[in-house]
Structure 1
Amino acid sequence: MAHLLGAYFHQDCLCEYASHEEALADYLSGASESDRRRAAEEIRDLLGAHASDADLKQAAVALGLCVLPPRRLRRWLAEVQEAMAP
């Protein structure tokens, strides 16, 4: 998940992609099934480990997320986790 957040949602991601959805689609197009499964598990663990939104944001930023999504982080991460399904 650190690769996903750091490589696709870095400080310049909105210069490279029109949206968070486009950046995610680019990741998904090149990620193997095992990478997607591992990222989904890591997102599940991250969501479960951080009850407060402030803690979740801090953890996501520590993992490389530089540009917050246009909606609540918890909801967005859950959507990303769903998108990881093959």
Structure 2
Amino acid sequence: MQQREVTDKNNTTWTCVQAYGGLAKEASEKAAALAENDNGTIPVVCTPGGGAKSVRLALAKNWLEGTPDETLLAEIEAVQEQDAAEKV
């Protein structure tokens, strides 16, 4: 399972992995293909090392290599802000 870690401005380290990435290779590839959205994005789950809750992102298939850390962190922050706004 390939994963990526990024650290935000609050010193929270996020571990991001493609959804279904923990399955066996063949099953993982099939699940990823089925989970791909119409716009070509795939689900990615980012889990914090601290007290924040995990977030689910929709990112390009090449997110592991093609998405800069700053963009990944901005996506995480946007989901957190949206979740906070929905609670109000």
TM, length-normalised to structure 2? 0.30
Structure possessing the higher radius of gyration over alpha carbons: 2
Identify the structure with the greater helix proportion: 1
TM, length-normalised to structure 1? 0.30
Identify the structure with the greater strand proportion: 2
